[in-house]
Amino acid sequence: MALFGTCAGLILMADQVLDAEALEGFDRVRGLDVVVRRNAYGSQLDSFETELETQQIPDSQRRLPAVFIRAPIIEDVSGKDVEILAQAELGAGAPTRWWSARATAWPPASTRS
């Protein structure tokens, strides 16, 4: 099964969530061998837009606009099959490729990308 999780989807796909108390009562998919922290970039007021650079796409499009709105952060990549495709300046964070799973810490629909 292919999965794509953005923001909260990344949290639900992560094998470990450091502040998982708020997720009690929610079923989680798991299977993405990463450790995430919810709302790691701060509150709604701390939201920001930046550009991420990736080597996975052609030179002319390497900078991807990303909007982080109370976004989770990937604090640790445990799995040898997890590949970080881009990083925000504040830490590891998005998108992550794992077999047929995809996850980002920002919702791509918030930008023209």
* Residue pLDDT tens, the chain, 113 long: 678 888 888 999 999 999 889 899 989 999 889 999 898 878 888 888 888 887 777 776 777 788 888 888 888 888 888 888 777 765 555 555 544 456 677 666 666 65
Nearest CA to 106 out of 75, 72, 63 is that of 72
pTM: 0.74
The pLDDT score that the predictor gives to residue 12 is 92
The pLDDT score that the predictor gives to residue 30 is 92
The pLDDT score that the predictor gives to residue 97 is 52
Helices assigned H by DSSP within the chain: 8-13
The pLDDT score that the predictor gives to residue 15 is 93
Q: Which two tokens stand for residue 11?
A: 């949290």
The pLDDT score that the predictor gives to residue 99 is 46
d(CA 46, CA 77): 25
Question: Options 3.30.70.20, 1.10.10.60, 3.40.50.880, 2.60.120.620; which CATH number does 3-110 get?
Answer: 3.40.50.880
The pLDDT score that the predictor gives to residue 108 is 64
Q: How do the domains of the chain map onto residue ranges?
A: 3-110
How far the first Cα of the chain sits from its last, in Å, is: 25
Which residues, at least 6 apart from 15, have a Cβ–Cβ distance to it below 8 Å? 30, 31, 32, 33, 34, 35, 78
